[in-house]
């Protein structure tokens, strides 16, 4: 990947990492929900008790066109995490594509995927962590008189690295 594009990707990922960390802290005290309705479809993200919940409802018109709400987590149905009411759960993740069981939720069009914040942090930390590693290695090589690209010893070379052709 080109270096500039890689810098932008790692920087963007760092911003998401920080946002996820802040939202995680908020999720221990609040139940947040935000979403957008397009026609009869609603797309939303909820946050509570260390989890995020990604919602796609294909037949839902009771919300306004867009919404953002915050209520205290204490006493809320999501106080124990957002996956506990879903049929399919694994390691803190959960999902529902449709619900065929009995009761009020039967035949629901409410699709939901629960992703815990720890996973979002790990996922968004990967690119910045790799960026730091690569940048430190590059700096170390330059200081030691080696090619920043491949590590070849440049102390007797001029202009270009004889190994990989990189200018220095």
What are the residues binding Zn ion (CB under 5 A)?
Answer: 147, 149-150, 152, 161, 163-164, 166
Which of residues 19 and 150 has its CB atom nearest to Zn ion in the complex?
150
Which of residues 88 and 166 has its CB atom nearest to Zn ion in the complex?
166
Bridge partners of 33? 46, 69
How far, in Å, CA of 18 to CA of 42, rounded?
27
User: Min. distance of Cβ 134 from Zn ion in angstroms?
Assistant: 15
User: Min. distance of Cβ 164 from Zn ion in angstroms?
Assistant: 3
User: Min. distance of Cβ 149 from Zn ion in angstroms?
Assistant: 4
Which of residues 101 and 159 has its CB atom nearest to Zn ion in the complex?
159
SS (H, E, C) 1-48: CCHHHHHHHHHHHHHHHHHHHHHHHHHCCEEEEEEEEECCEEEEEEEE
């Amino acid at each position: 990947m080109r270096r500039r594009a890689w810098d932008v990707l790692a920087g963007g990922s760092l911003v998401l990492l920080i946002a996820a960390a802040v939202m995680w802290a908020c999720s221990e005290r609040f139940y947040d929900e935000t979403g957008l309705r397009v026609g009869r479809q609603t797309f939303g993200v909820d946050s509570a008790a260390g989890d995020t919940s990604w919602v796609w409802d294909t037949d839902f018109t009771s919300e306004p066109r867009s919404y953002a709400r915050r209520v205290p987590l204490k006493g809320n149905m999501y106080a124990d995490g957002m996956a506990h009411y879903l049929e399919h759960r694994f390691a803190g993740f959960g999902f529902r594509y449709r619900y065929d069981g009995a009761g009020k939720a039967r035949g629901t069009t409410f699709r939901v995927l629960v992703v815990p914040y720890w996973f979002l942090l790990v996922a968004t930390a990967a690119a910045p962590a790799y960026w730091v590693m690569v940048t430190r290695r590059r700096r170390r090589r330059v200081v030691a008189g080696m090619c920043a690209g491949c590590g070849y010893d440049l102390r007797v070379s001029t202009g270009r690295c004889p190994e990989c052709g990189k200018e220095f």
